[in-house]
Amino acid sequence: MRIKQVSVFVGNEPGRLVDMLKPLADGQIDIQALSVADSTDFGIVRMVVSDTQSAVKALHDAQFTARVNEVLAYDMPNVPGGLLTTVVEPLAKAGVNLEYFYAFTESEAGKAKVVLKVSDIDRAEKVLGPG
Amino acid sequence: MTMWEPQYEKMPRNELEKLQLERLQHKVTTAYEKVPFYRAKFQEMGVSPKDIKSLDDVKRLPFTSKADFRDNYPFGMMAVPLSDVVRVHASSGTTGKPIVAPYNANDIGTWANLMARTLATAGVHAGDIMQNAYGYGLFTGGLGFHYGGERLGATVIPVATGNTKRQIMLIQDLGTTVLTCTPSYALIVAETARDMGVDLSATQLRLAVCGAEPWTEKMRAEIEANLGIIAIDIYGLTEILGPGVSCECPRKNGMHIWEDHFLAEVLDPATEQPVPYGQRGELVLTTLTKEALPVVRFKTHDIVTLHPEVCECGRTMVRMSKVHGRTDDMLIVRGVNVFPTQIESVLLSVEGVEPHYQIIVDRERHMDDLEIWVEVSEAVFSDEMRSLEELERRVRAEMDSILGIAARVKLVEPRTIARTEGKAKRVVDRREL
């Protein structure tokens, strides 16, 4: 299913991550999933949060460049081959490209979730179902 | 020490000034008659060539700026037909278009002669083996020194810049006595020689003639110590000639301006009034003998001091200090002129918006380093790494193409670039020049 994700541009310097996470903590915003794409001078932090709008406002107030993207989130069984058979193979067969993705286990035993950005969101949804 | 043209170099001041006036009157008449741009400017100011009755009257003439060259690009300021032009050189303009400088056969001859005089003044003689490590091409340095060296009768090795290990081999094997190059390249040669275990002071190398970028007395001391030579300062600019507008004699007490060919004024940049000798001001130059491109009162943006006392070497021509600084924001990076406005136009063309940026210039191991920090605003932020990498790559490629030198591009957070009174500080020059 489609969900909102917040991405933030963070300079690769000590303390920047602290400055980025603090306003979220202060605003009582919960981070449900997070990943960082790193490069030499900067990183793109991607998060799924409890309150997307407030998160973006808090980040903008703290002078961070942040935007909201639409991505997909799917449940998978937390077993060997879960990610492969639930998401990756079907998308590969349908010729949908994966831009990035990050997965995590749920508190409920046996369950895991994957957040993914794809080249063709409509096609991906058709292939993977509403999730 | 033999002077190349003692009749001019030691000319008594009153005779020199008489010669300057004659040449100025002739040049102003030519500019008025042959260059529509100048005719229009003169008419606008209500001045005509016959109004120039003394050197003092030069202040009645209009100024010429880099913008005039840009507006008349490419050949709008030429005083001869293009068919007479035997060479065209170019240098950086403030935007995408370069400054174009045409030369007819007489100009090439004048330039070669002035460069021979320049090299002789620096201490080069016909028996020298001159290794020319200035860049050959549109840049006036390479061919300027080359023709001067040949005219002087020296043995010229046109190595151009780069391939430093081979340059050092040539210095050793061919017996190079004079190295002509930028001051930072001289230091690169020194360092490379050290890495190679070569003692340059044991070679025949005795003199370097350095210019095209600003350099301090500290740098000179370093060059002289590390290469075991004397290093002499030279000045020039594409709009006026190329190298050879002025040069130090071995007294190293200011660069003699060749006043029989150039009328030099030093003006207060704010009031445009002449400042007395010994005081800093903007150097404004008028060409007295160039034919294809006569230039009237060109604002060089270089801040200098003029010293009129006759030099110990016997030359009567006024001496100018090293350039103290610029009145504009032009930078010289690895010998190439760089304007922040060029960088702005690249960012605008690549991103479609003009982001906040900062130019950081530093010098690492004698090589100028240019880094451009670009703030990532909402407008250009993509959440895909490859889009941002692609952006960086495109900016870098465009910069390289427009500036002619490689610059690193660093994407930074919005708050990174300090702002004073709402305006960002565009250039941070960490070099101690």
pLDDT of residue B279: 95
The burial class, CB within 10 Å (0-12 / 13-18 / 19+), for B50 is exposed
Identify the residue with better confidence: B40 or A109.
B40
B199 close to B162: Cβ distance less than 8 angstroms = no
Q: Which CATH superfamily is domain B333-429 in?
A: ANL, C-terminal domain (3.30.300.30)
Tell if the CB–CB gap between A67 and B383 is shorter than 8 Å. yes
pLDDT at residue A23 is higher than 80: yes
Q: Beta B357-364 vs B427-429: how paired, if at all?
A: parallel
Domain with CATH 3.30.300.30 in chain B: 333-429
Two tokens, residue B105: 């056969």
* Residue of chain A whose Cα is closest to the Cα of B409: A41
Residue B228 vs residues A23, B186, B190, B223, B253: alpha-carbon distances, Å: 61, 11, 10, 8, 20
**d(C-alpha B196, C-alpha A60), whole Å:** 54
Tell if the CB–CB gap between B413 and A65 is shorter than 8 Å. yes
Flag whether residue A42 sits within 8 Å of chain B, measured between CB atoms. yes
Q: In what order do the strands lie in the sheet with B408-412?
A: B408-412, B367-375, B357-364, B427-429
Helix (H) or strand (E) holding B337, with range, is: strand B336-338
* Residue of chain B whose Cα is closest to the Cα of A118: B384
Q: How far apart are the first and last CA of chain A?
A: 5
**d(C-alpha B410, C-alpha B414), whole Å:** 12
**d(C-alpha B414, C-alpha B355), whole Å:** 10
DSSP per residue, B67-97: HHHHHTTTTTT-SS-GGGEEEEEEE--SSSS
- How many other C-beta atoms are found inside a 10 Å radius of the C-beta of residue B310? 14
In angstroms, the separation between the Cα of residue B355 and the nearest Cα of chain A is 13
DSSP per residue, A54-83: HHHHHHHHTT--EEEEEEEEEEEESSTTHH
pLDDT of residue B408: 92
**d(C-alpha B288, C-alpha B269), whole Å:** 23
Residues β-bridged to residue A48: A33
- A26-55 pLDDT, tens digit per residue, is 999 999 999 999 898 999 999 999 999 999
Tell me which residue has tokens 């009157």: B25
Identify how many contiguous H helices and E strands chain B contains and give both numbers: 11, 22
- How many other C-beta atoms are found inside a 10 Å radius of the C-beta of residue B205? 23
CATH fold of the domain at B82-328: Rossmann fold (3.40.50)
Type of residue found at B367: M
In angstroms, the separation between the Cα of residue B410 and the nearest Cα of chain A is 7
The burial class, CB within 10 Å (0-12 / 13-18 / 19+), for B115 is buried
Residues of A in contact with B391 (CB under 8 A): none
Residue A2 vs residues A8, A70, A72, A83, B318: alpha-carbon distances, Å: 19, 6, 5, 18, 77
B408 close to B396: Cβ distance less than 8 angstroms = yes
Whole-model pTM: value is 0.82
**d(C-alpha B188, C-alpha B196), whole Å:** 12
**Interface with chain B: mutation pick from A5, A6, A20, A41, highest number of B CBs within 10 Å:** A41
Tell if the CB–CB gap between A44 and B388 is shorter than 8 Å. yes
Flag whether residue A63 sits within 8 Å of chain B, measured between CB atoms. yes
Q: Beta B262-267 vs B280-287: how paired, if at all?
A: antiparallel
Domains plus CATH for chain A?
2-69 (3.30.2130.10), 71-128 (3.30.70.260)
DSSP per residue, B107-135: HHHHHHHHHHHHHHHHT--TT-EEEE-SP
The burial class, CB within 10 Å (0-12 / 13-18 / 19+), for A130 is exposed
pLDDT of residue B248: 98
**Interface with chain A: mutation pick from B383, B387, B411, B419, highest number of A CBs within 10 Å:** B383
B406 CA to centre of own chain = 20
Question: Tens digit of pLDDT per residue, chain B (433 long)?
Answer: 689 999 999 999 999 999 999 999 999 999 999 999 999 999 999 999 999 999 999 999 999 999 999 999 999 999 999 999 999 999 987 777 899 999 999 999 999 999 999 999 999 999 999 999 999 999 999 999 999 999 999 999 999 998 999 999 999 999 999 999 999 899 999 999 999 999 999 999 999 999 998 888 989 999 999 999 999 999 999 999 999 999 999 999 999 999 999 999 999 999 999 999 999 999 999 999 999 999 999 999 999 999 999 999 999 999 999 999 888 888 899 888 888 888 888 888 876 666 788 899 999 888 899 999 988 888 888 888 988 999 899 989 988 888 888 899 999 998 787 766 656 678 889 987 7
DSSP B60: G
Cα–Cα nearest to B241, from B291, B194, B301, B282: B291
Domain with CATH 3.40.50.12780 in chain B: 82-328
DSSP B166: H
**Interface with chain B: mutation pick from A5, A9, A69, A115, highest number of B CBs within 10 Å:** A9
Residue B129 vs residues B2, B126, B145, B190: alpha-carbon distances, Å: 18, 8, 13, 19
- Residues of chain B in Cβ contact (below 8 Å) with chain A: 376-378, 381, 383-385, 388-389, 410-416
Q: Beta B99-104 vs B85-91: how paired, if at all?
A: antiparallel
**d(C-alpha B371, C-alpha A101), whole Å:** 32
pLDDT of residue B181: 96
Cis before B294? omega within 30: no
- A58-104 pLDDT, tens digit per residue, is 999 999 999 999 999 999 999 999 999 999 999 999 999 999 999 98
B95 CA to centre of own chain = 17
Tell me which residue has tokens 């591009």: B409
Residue A48: half-sphere exposure toward Cβ, Cα within 13 Å: 18
B269 close to B167: Cβ distance less than 8 angstroms = no
**d(C-alpha A73, C-alpha A115), whole Å:** 4
